[in-house]
Amino acid sequence: MTVSDPVTGPAQVVLTASVARRYYLDGRSKIEIAEEFGMSRFKVARLLDTARTSGLVRIEIRHEGEIDVDLSAQLRDRFGLQHSIVVASPDEDAQALREHVGRAAAQLLAEIITPGDVLGLAWARSVSAMARVLPRLPGTPVVQLTGALTLPDGPDTSVDAVRDVATASGGVAHYFYAPLTVADAATARALRQQPEVARAFGQLPLVTKAVAGVGLWEAGQSTLYDAASVHDRAALRDLGVCADISGVLVAADGTPVPTELAERMIALSAEEMRAIPEVIVIPYGIRKAAAVRAALRSGLVAGIVTHTSLARAVLDEA
């Protein structure tokens, strides 16, 4: 669709424009137009062709809202995703991004969730942001997928998110109070035996859609990293950990990395995440491009909601 073959003369220009107007704007059929202008319908077709190739008719696909449809489609096609939403956020600070992305994720979830679905929520600040603005869902059961990390800057925990969504949906809420990481594997095993925890994890095979965050295994880019010990940080980096998908650790090429830390976590495993039909991640922050690529390559993820700068970074280097 290059702009070439300039229409020859002025009469031709006016005629072509008139025909194009009748066809594209007035919605007349080519035959009607042919009769109106006293020419064959083939000539009409040719005029319309030249109108487009010469650039006289310009077709523009642009969404006026905050969704960047172009980047969304690129991301979806590049990584073979089912859903891909890229929002244009006016601000680039973490909180603004989180809220924008969270709101878009809430809209997406409200759109795609059906009465038969069981929703899983992993722990992430963006997931909490989404939960806060999620509209009423049609009686969807909600399952907590991970423990929570206590953050200095906010009261939200995964438990709150699960409860919020469950009450908003009117569905059953399977939640528990437990941290995401504990000191040793024995404590973790003991916690998993807890009735609420065991019951929630027993619901895992029923979960059809889940929402998770993505962290980059670097300082300030992953709450899990920041909460980990200095030893764990280095050990996992040495193992090739690039990203954590709400607790599931994967390498840069997307393959899950078995870690000793996993035994000290109250979270679903990579296999359990893979069993969920549709996992949607909500990453934000421009520095997380490598982690997002890893997450999307892992095959664990079916959808993404993010913002333009991160989406562009993910595509640029992919």
Partner DNA sequence: TGAGTGGCTGCTCATGTGAGCGCACTCTGC
Partner DNA sequence: GCAGAGTGCGCTCACATGAGCAGCCACTCA
The answer to whether residue 275 forms part of the interface with a second copy (CB under 8 A) is: no
Contacts by 247-251, CB closer than 8 A, 24 or more apart: 247/122, 247/123, 247/146, 247/180, 248/212, 248/273, 248/300, 249/217, 250/294, 250/295, 250/298, 250/300, 251/294
Question: Which of a second copy, DNA, none interacts with 90 (beta carbon under 5 to 8 A by kind)?
Answer: none
Smaller CB distance to a second copy: residue 222 or 306? Answer: 306
The Cα–Cα gap between 60 and 73 comes to 16
Structure tokens at 197: 């925890």
Residues that bind DNA (CB under 7 A): 29-31, 39-43, 45-46, 115-116, 138
Judged by CB under 8 A, the residue of 76, 132, 163, 192 near a second copy is 76
Closest CA to 138 of 152, 124, 120, 117: 117
The answer to whether residue 18 forms part of the interface with a second copy (CB under 8 A) is: yes
Binding region for a second copy (CB under 8 A) out of 80-88, 136-144, 222-230, 231-239: 80-88
Alpha carbon separation from 298 to 63, 76, 102, 201, 249 (Å, rounded):
30, 14, 22, 22, 10
Pairing state between β 278-281 and 209-212: parallel
In terms of Cβ atoms closer than 10 Å to its own Cβ (0-12, 13-18, 19+), residue 183 is: exposed
Binding region for a second copy (CB under 8 A) out of 60-68, 126-134, 157-165, 177-185: 60-68
Q: In the complex, what is the shortest distance from the CB of residue 118 to a second copy, in angstroms, rounded to a whole number?
A: 19
- For 242, the enclosing helix (H) or strand (E) is strand 241-245
Structure tokens at 293: 């690529």
Beta bridge partners of 209: 119, 278
Binding region for a second copy (CB under 8 A) out of 14-22, 157-165, 187-195, 199-207: 14-22
The answer to whether residue 315 forms part of the interface with a second copy (CB under 8 A) is: no
The answer to whether residue 45 forms part of the interface with a second copy (CB under 8 A) is: no
Q: In the complex, what is the shortest distance from the CB of residue 115 to DNA, in angstroms, rounded to a whole number?
A: 5
Q: In the complex, what is the shortest distance from the CB of residue 72 to a second copy, in angstroms, rounded to a whole number?
A: 4
| Site of tokens 């806060």 | 132
Whether the CB-CB separation of 86 and 68 falls below 8 Å is answered with yes
Smaller CB distance to DNA: residue 156 or 278? Answer: 278
Binding region for a second copy (CB under 8 A) out of 39-47, 57-65, 90-98, 150-158: 57-65
The answer to whether residue 10 forms part of the interface with a second copy (CB under 8 A) is: yes
Q: Which amino acid is at 286?
A: I
Smaller CB distance to DNA: residue 137 or 200? Answer: 137
Q: In the complex, what is the shortest distance from the CB of residue 60 to DNA, in angstroms, rounded to a whole number?
A: 19
Whether the CB-CB separation of 185 and 155 falls below 8 Å is answered with no
Smaller CB distance to a second copy: residue 104 or 291? Answer: 104
Binding site for a second copy (CB under 8 A): 1, 8-14, 17-18, 20-21, 24-25, 27, 51, 55-65, 67, 69-70, 72-73, 76, 83-85, 104, 107-108, 110-112, 305
